[in-house]
Amino acid sequence: MLDTPNLLLIHDGSIAGQKYYLSLLLPWLSHHLSAVAIAVIHWGVAFTLLLSAHRLPQVKLRPFIKLISAGLILYGVLSLSMALVTQATPAWLLLVEVVTLLVWSGMVIVVRSLLFNLATDAPSTHLVQINQQLEQKIADRQQVEQSLRSTAEQLRQALEFEALLKRITDKVRDSLDEKNILQMAVQALGEGLEVCSCNAALYDLTSKMAIVHYEYTTSFTPVQGRVMSMDNTPWLYQQILARQSFQFCSLFPNPARGRVSMLVCPIMDDNGVLGDLWLVNQADYGFGELELRLMQQVTNQCAIALRQARLYQEAQAQVKELQRLNTLKDDFLSTVSHELRTPVANVKLATRMLAVTLARRAEAFEDPSIFSQSEELGKLDHQVREKELYYLKILEDECQREIDLVNDLLDLQRLEEDKIVLNIEDINLNEWLPKTVKPFENRVSNRRQSLEIKIPHLLTPLHSDRVSLGRILTELLNNACKYTPPDEKIVVEVTTRENQAKFIVTNSGVEIPTRELPHIFDKFYRVPSTDPWKQGGTGLGLALVKSLTQHLGGNIEVQCYDNQTRFTVQLPLVAASLADSPESAQTKVMEVAPQVTP
């Protein structure tokens, strides 16, 4: 061991002292260098094992590794201490240390190999799990990103559909025209959704028909104007009439369109289904929830707009009808005033003329000289009597005209209020018809007209009201005589067949203009410029004929052709009231709408 006191005494700073110090230190270092190296190697191995133990995933092996490291550190300390205590390291000690070092090195190699195997093989399952977790997280993140993109796309599409719905709603609400409403909706939907076709149909539920009125198409064959029967595809229209919206794809290719995908929504309101709205696209296209919702909202808006448009049209029709009724009222007041005033004026004039005639007669008889002239007196008396009879005839005719006008008005009022009592009885047409026509023979003869009656030898008796039937035929003959020019013919014909009696009155030489035919049965209506005899009239005759015919359970029609006008009245041989009960046989009225044929 180095002698430290001596070293301190010798070390006086001189060069000789330094050399002496080095001569003592170098042998010491050479003798103990192997021990220091062995200690450092043990410590290095120990620290290496400690670092490896901290990175080892198996926690249970860490104490064992730490114990080995502590042993290596302790052995290195002991080896270095023994080297410092002894002046020289014995050969056997060096041999033991070397062998020990080799043993520890082998153990370290084995432990490192074990650690490496544990670090590489043991955590493989854990690494796989970690890898799977990472992959799952990546997949979840991708799914979330995809969901976010899908949500963003749906939101964008929803905003576009909302804007499209607002445009359609604004357009249809601003229109009161039924055609424009559906056409604008179809056009906007077709362009906004970029479908191959969009069309709208309106329903006629009475005849069970669907008519395609409006269409937008880019590539398909147009179907606008097509009429479809609901009975041909009941499975389809039953769902639509049940207020269901649905999409489907055709199983068999359509000859014009091929296989297509379709979405249909009913156009409906609280009162029922008005029609339907269709979207048509290629067969591989699927309509989404947003498109279905958009279609339903559009159809709701269209239904509201259609109902408003129809209410507006009904209101306009009512306004026109009120205007027409107001015109009829004015015409009625004008006509009645004229018809009432004319007979009164004629009566007043005839009364004055009769008064003048009577005054002249009185003056003549006051002259005494006239009695000496019997011949002059007789002549004057004859003239006065003729004038008196003439004026009396005027008074009688005008009074009758006044009475007829009032009676016609009262009869029409009672017919409209259904207060006419029918007296049903058996009528022998072979006897009744000639008697009814007889009064017109003189009138026809005076106007150079001809009157012909066509009646079979034996007719089936008619069970009806004699007065009403006579009024019908009389009015038709009056009408024929009034409008038939001279040298023309009036033909009255009656037949009975298939439980019906048919009365036909035909007059030649005149036709009613086609535009006037729908109005000839209106009250106070007269066809202008067709009265060659300038007789005038109230315009109540044909209105009475129509009402009486309806109350007898029949109908009337008019036809104009070949310079002829023909009125045909059809009545049941047995009145409807007789088929029910004896108590109501005289009062029941059967309502039948008239049929006017141009």
Mean pLDDT (whole number) for 560-577:
84
- For residues 78 and 188, state if they share a domain: no
Residue 117 pLDDT class (50, 70, 90 cuts): low
Q: How many CB atoms within 10 Å of residue 299?
A: 24
Q: Is the pLDDT of residue 216 over 80?
A: yes
- For residues 465 and 562, state if they share a domain: yes
Does residue 130 lie in a domain region? no
Residue 590 pLDDT class (50, 70, 90 cuts): very low
Side-chain half-sphere CA neighbours of 460 within 13 A: 14
pLDDT reported for residue 596: 31
- For residues 111 and 219, state if they share a domain: no
Q: Provide the terminal-to-terminal Cα distance of the chain, rounded to the nearest Å.
A: 152
- For residues 196 and 273, state if they share a domain: yes
Cα gap 223→214, rounded to integer Å: 9
Does residue 337 lie in a domain region? no
Nearest residue to 179 (alpha-carbon basis) of 273, 309, 299, 269 = 309
- For residues 196 and 288, state if they share a domain: yes
Domain boundary among 120, 136, 158: 120
Cα gap 82→88, rounded to integer Å: 10
Nearest residue to 594 (alpha-carbon basis) of 565, 556, 567 = 556
Residue 327 pLDDT class (50, 70, 90 cuts): confident
pLDDT reported for residue 69: 74
112-121, 156-165, 264-273: which range is least confident on average? Answer: 112-121
pLDDT reported for residue 502: 92
Nearest residue to 72 (alpha-carbon basis) of 110, 98, 105 = 105
Cα gap 195→279, rounded to integer Å: 7
Mean pLDDT (whole number) for 200-221:
87
Domain boundary among 291, 313, 335: 313
**In Å, what is the CA distance from 201 to each residue of 87, 215, 308?**
121, 9, 18
Cα gap 120→113, rounded to integer Å: 10
- For residues 194 and 270, state if they share a domain: yes
pLDDT reported for residue 506: 93
Residues in the chain, overall count? 598
Does residue 348 lie in a domain region? no
Query: Whole-prediction pTM value?
Result: 0.45
Task: Please name the residue ranges forming H helices in 417-490.
Answer: 429-437, 440-446, 466-483
pLDDT reported for residue 505: 94
Nearest residue to 260 (alpha-carbon basis) of 288, 245, 281 = 281
pLDDT reported for residue 556: 92
- For residues 109 and 215, state if they share a domain: no
Tokens representing 100 are 């020990």
Mean pLDDT (whole number) for 448-467:
88
Does residue 402 lie in a domain region? no
pLDDT reported for residue 575: 65
Task: For residue 17, give its domain range.
Answer: 4-120
Nearest residue to 335 (alpha-carbon basis) of 398, 410, 396, 409 = 409
pLDDT reported for residue 494: 92
Percentage of residues in the chain having pLDDT higher than 90: 7
Residue 354 pLDDT class (50, 70, 90 cuts): confident
pLDDT reported for residue 92: 53
pLDDT reported for residue 512: 85
Instruction: Tell me the residue type at 355.
Output: A
pLDDT in tens, 482-515: 888 888 999 999 998 888 899 999 999 888 888 8
Instruction: Tell me the residue type at 484.
Output: T
Does residue 33 lie in a domain region? yes
- For residues 477 and 548, state if they share a domain: yes
CB 276 within 8 A of CB 260: no
Nearest residue to 257 (alpha-carbon basis) of 196, 212, 199, 202 = 196
Query: CATH code at 248?
Result: 3.30.450.40
Cα gap 535→104, rounded to integer Å: 151
Between 167 and 490, the more confident residue is: 490
- Give me the numbers of helices (H) and strands (E) for the chain, helices first please: 13, 13
Task: Please name the residue ranges forming H helices in 484-540.
Answer: none
pLDDT reported for residue 597: 31
Cα gap 49→104, rounded to integer Å: 12
Does residue 460 lie in a domain region? yes
Q: Is the pLDDT of residue 1 over 50?
A: no
Mean pLDDT (whole number) for 185-204:
87
- For residues 557 and 456, state if they share a domain: yes
Mean pLDDT (whole number) for 161-188:
81
Cα gap 48→29, rounded to integer Å: 27
- For residues 286 and 228, state if they share a domain: yes
Does residue 495 lie in a domain region? yes
Q: Is the pLDDT of residue 71 over 60?
A: yes
- Number of domains composing the chain: 3
Coil/strand/helix, residue 462? strand
Domain boundary among 102, 120, 138: 120
Does residue 551 lie in a domain region? yes
- For residues 112 and 227, state if they share a domain: no
pLDDT in tens, 398-415: 777 677 677 777 776 777
Mean pLDDT (whole number) for 449-477:
89
Question: What mean pLDDT, rounded, does the chain reach?
Answer: 76
Between 262 and 175, the more confident residue is: 262
Residue 530 pLDDT class (50, 70, 90 cuts): low
* Residue with the two structure tokens 């315009």: 539
CB 490 within 8 A of CB 452: yes
pLDDT reported for residue 9: 42
pLDDT in tens, 233-260: 888 899 999 989 988 887 777 777 778 8
Q: Is the pLDDT of residue 65 over 80?
A: no
- For residues 442 and 542, state if they share a domain: yes
Coil/strand/helix, residue 266? strand
Query: CATH code at 503?
Result: 3.30.565.10
